């Protein structure tokens, strides 16, 4: 058992490592593709060589980031087969479908038009090239769509049916998978956060140009586009975040409780604006969950159910199966975790008996056991747990990641609003060192915000690979902890190398741009023609 848990922990760590490095590149690809397309649209409409020079500069940064994202993304998908083969067998028919569509449709679309985007200058018409640029950006977004649909299905498994003869789940409603509320909210939330991140990155690089007093005109032009894309992206991220909170409250209440460090819920539940968790707090003691907190009255009730009087269950309530009927206000009993574990084991036993009856050719027993299996299958995964504590996620990591994300997002919103005000109303502000340093500092802050969002999404649903159906310890491959440790450190060095290489190449391109004034670039373009 110790070796099993070590394999689980190292496999989770390796997948988290790969996913977090991959997420360094993905949001910048999603947003920078849109920014480049907007800039090229302005160029085509105005026939301005200044905008052509700006487009080509940001396009080079997009291309560098795109290549690194592809490299890490391929490794991420392979890990489903190498480290999580039981998972791949159990739900491969469902999880594989969105990934197959992503590879066949979106990735080929990107690969086709990105060639025109980078090598089609002066070889195709302006409008055809612009179309290729937009299709590349749209292709990247469609690629994200199908990957996020697959991820959302893991959080909220729908459109499937368990086949006891094949011992795995099969898809029975594709559109339920593709159009689930979890999938739609996750898609828009992740993509719009990519817009926000890219807008901030563009603004930060422009602030560096302003700080060095190089390419001031390019920096001002680009900052306007970046700030607008960033503020639109962040606004829509916050809007879809509200929708995500409602779906999480409904389908993953344990994640919401962990996000708030909430052990015992109540009606008119407040939300923690800032707080420090009590490390001594567990589900089986009466310690105060907070050492210090500043809370907003009614906030969590409004966030979770859009009703300031709504009851929001805490961790202990969910474990015990306590809830409150929103219509009558009466206390109602849901299925507690102890009962879920019993029913999960009953479902697993029914599956074993079904297979025994099948081998014996007893069709009547098969039918009876299949009925018993279907009755308790919603709790199938709980049968793998030895105690209710196993079903509780890492509360401190989820709590702090959520609140860092919110605070960082609020700071970025303020920065973007000030930037737009400065660009259009107070241009002199952009020449101030304080403004420039804050713009540069915003780049690491928005990345921290973005990474924290994924920590909340993925750590908050632990220990599940598929919510309520398959925990992580039942999803791994049959391998030793030593082999996973070895590949973990290989990937760590590989990904650090890729990230360092990307940053070095991007910094080189930025320095080259800073040493070449916009007028020199325009003259060079005229000579090329």
**For residues 334 and 308, what is the distance between their CA atoms, to the nearest angstrom?**
22
Tell me the three-class secondary structure of 237-298, residue by residue: HHHHHHHHHHHHHHHCHHHHHHHHCCCCCEECCCEEEEEEECCCCCCCCCCCCEEEEEEECC
The model's pLDDT over 502-513, given as tens digits with 9 standing for 90+, comes to 999 999 888 887
306 pLDDT tier (thresholds 50, 70, 90): confident
* Range of lowest pLDDT (12-16, 79-83, 119-123, 386-390): 79-83
**For residues 236 and 480, what is the distance between their CA atoms, to the nearest angstrom?**
44
pLDDT of residue 167: 85
pLDDT of residue 483: 87
Query: Does the structure show a pLDDT above 80 at 50?
Result: yes
**For residues 59 and 35, what is the distance between their CA atoms, to the nearest angstrom?**
9
pLDDT of residue 446: 96
Is residue 396 a contact partner of residue 443, using CB atoms and an 8 Å limit? no
**For residues 200 and 443, what is the distance between their CA atoms, to the nearest angstrom?**
6
pLDDT of residue 344: 94
pTM beyond cutoff 0.75: yes
Q: Is 480 helix (H, G, I), strand (E, B) or coil?
A: coil
pLDDT of residue 2: 46
523 pLDDT tier (thresholds 50, 70, 90): low
User: Over pLDDT 90: what percentage of the chain?
Assistant: 52
Q: What mean pLDDT is predicted for residues 179-198? A: 92
Q: How many other CB atoms are there within 10 angstroms of residue 21's CB atom?
A: 22
Q: What mean pLDDT is predicted for residues 463-475? A: 91
pLDDT of residue 133: 93
Hey, what are 96's tokens?
């594989």
CA angle, 50 then 55 then 57, to 5°: 100
Q: How many other CB atoms are there within 10 angstroms of residue 359's CB atom?
A: 8
pLDDT of residue 196: 96
The model's pLDDT over 122-159, given as tens digits with 9 standing for 90+, comes to 889 999 999 999 999 999 999 889 989 988 999 999 98
Hey, what are 1's tokens?
């058992």
Q: How many other CB atoms are there within 10 angstroms of residue 290's CB atom?
A: 18
Q: What mean pLDDT is predicted for residues 264-280? A: 90
Burial class (CB in 10 A: 0-12, 13-18, 19+), 45: exposed
The model's pLDDT over 105-127, given as tens digits with 9 standing for 90+, comes to 777 787 788 889 999 888 899 99
**For residues 399 and 412, what is the distance between their CA atoms, to the nearest angstrom?**
20
The model's pLDDT over 193-245, given as tens digits with 9 standing for 90+, comes to 999 999 999 999 999 999 988 888 888 999 999 999 999 999 999 999 888 89
Q: What mean pLDDT is predicted for residues 473-491? A: 88
Tokens 């080929």 sit at which residue?
Answer: 108
5 pLDDT tier (thresholds 50, 70, 90): low
Q: Domain ranges for the chain, please list them.
A: 13-179, 194-249+394-459, 256-333
332 pLDDT tier (thresholds 50, 70, 90): low
1 pLDDT tier (thresholds 50, 70, 90): very low
422 pLDDT tier (thresholds 50, 70, 90): very high
pLDDT of residue 132: 93
3-state DSSP: the chain helix, strand, coil percent, rounded to 5? 75, 5, 20
Q: Please state, rounded to an integer, the average pLDDT across all residues of the chain.
A: 89
**For residues 32 and 426, what is the distance between their CA atoms, to the nearest angstrom?**
26
Q: Which of 307, 297, 186, 315 lies closest to 260, judged by CA?
A: 315
User: Over pLDDT 70: what percentage of the chain?
Assistant: 95
């Amino acid at each position: 058992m110790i070796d099993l848990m070590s394999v689980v922990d190292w496999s989770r760590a390796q997948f988290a490592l790969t996913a977090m490095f991959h997420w360094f590149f993905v949001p910048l690809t999603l947003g920078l593709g849109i920014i480049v397309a907007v800039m090229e649209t302005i160029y085509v409409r105005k026939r301005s060589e200044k905008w052509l020079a700006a487009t080509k500069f940001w396009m080079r940064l997009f291309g560098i980031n795109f290549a690194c994202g592809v490299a890490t993304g391929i490794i991420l998908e392979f890990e489903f087969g190498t480290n999580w083969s039981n998972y791949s067998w159990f739900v491969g028919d469902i999880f594989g479908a969105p990934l197959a569509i992503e590879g066949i449709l979106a990735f080929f679309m990107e690969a086709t038009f990105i060639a025109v985007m980078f090598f089609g200058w002066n070889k195709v018409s302006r409008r055809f090239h612009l179309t290729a640029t937009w299709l590349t950006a749209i292709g990247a977004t469609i690629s994200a769509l199908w990957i996020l649909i697959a991820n959302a299905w893991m959080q909220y498994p729908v459109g499937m049916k368990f086949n006891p003869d094949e011992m795995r789940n099969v898809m029975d409603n594709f559109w339920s998978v593709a159009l689930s509320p979890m999938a739609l909210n996750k898609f828009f939330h992740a993509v719009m956060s990519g817009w926000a991140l890219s807008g901030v990155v563009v603004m930060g690089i422009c602030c560096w140009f302003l700080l060095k007093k190089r390419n001031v005109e390019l920096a001002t032009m680009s900052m306007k586009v970046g700030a607008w894309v960033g503020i639109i992206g962040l606004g829509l991220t916050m809007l879809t975040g509200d929708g995500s909170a409602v779906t999480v409250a409904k389908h993953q209440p344990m994640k919401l409780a962990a996000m708030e460090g909430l052990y015992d819920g109540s009606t008119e539940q407040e939300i923690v604006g800032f707080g420090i968790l009590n490390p001594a707090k567990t589900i089986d003691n009466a310690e105060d969950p907070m050492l210090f907190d500043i809370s907003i009255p009614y906030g969590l009730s409004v966030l979770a159910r859009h009703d300031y009087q709504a009851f929001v269950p805490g961790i202990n309530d969910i474990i015990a199966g306590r809830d409150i009927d929103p219509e009558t206000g009466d206390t109602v009993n849901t299925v507690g975790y102890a009962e879920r574990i019993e029913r999960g084991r009953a479902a697993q036993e029914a599956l074993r008996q079904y297979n025994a009856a099948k081998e014996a050719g007893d069709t009547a027993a098969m039918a009876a056991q299949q009925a018993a299996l279907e009755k308790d299958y919603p709790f199938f995964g709980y049968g793998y747990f030895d105690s209710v504590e196993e079903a509780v996620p890492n509360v401190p990591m989820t709590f702090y990641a959520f609140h860092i994300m919110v605070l960082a997002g609020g700071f970025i919103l303020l920065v973007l609003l000030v930037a737009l005000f400065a660009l259009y109303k107070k241009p002199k502000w952009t020449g101030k060192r304080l403004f420039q340093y804050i713009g540069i500092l915003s780049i690491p802050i928005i990345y921290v915000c973005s990474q924290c969002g994924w920590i909340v999404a993925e750590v908050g649903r632990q220990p599940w690979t598929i919510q309520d159906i398959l925990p992580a310890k039942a999803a791994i491959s049959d391998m030793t902890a030593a082999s996973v440790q070895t590949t973990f450190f290989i990937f760590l060095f590989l990904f650090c190398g890729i990230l360092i290489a990307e940053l070095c190449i991007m910094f080189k391109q930025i320095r080259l741009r800073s040493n070449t004034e916009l007028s020199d670039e325009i003259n060079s373009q005229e000579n090329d023609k």
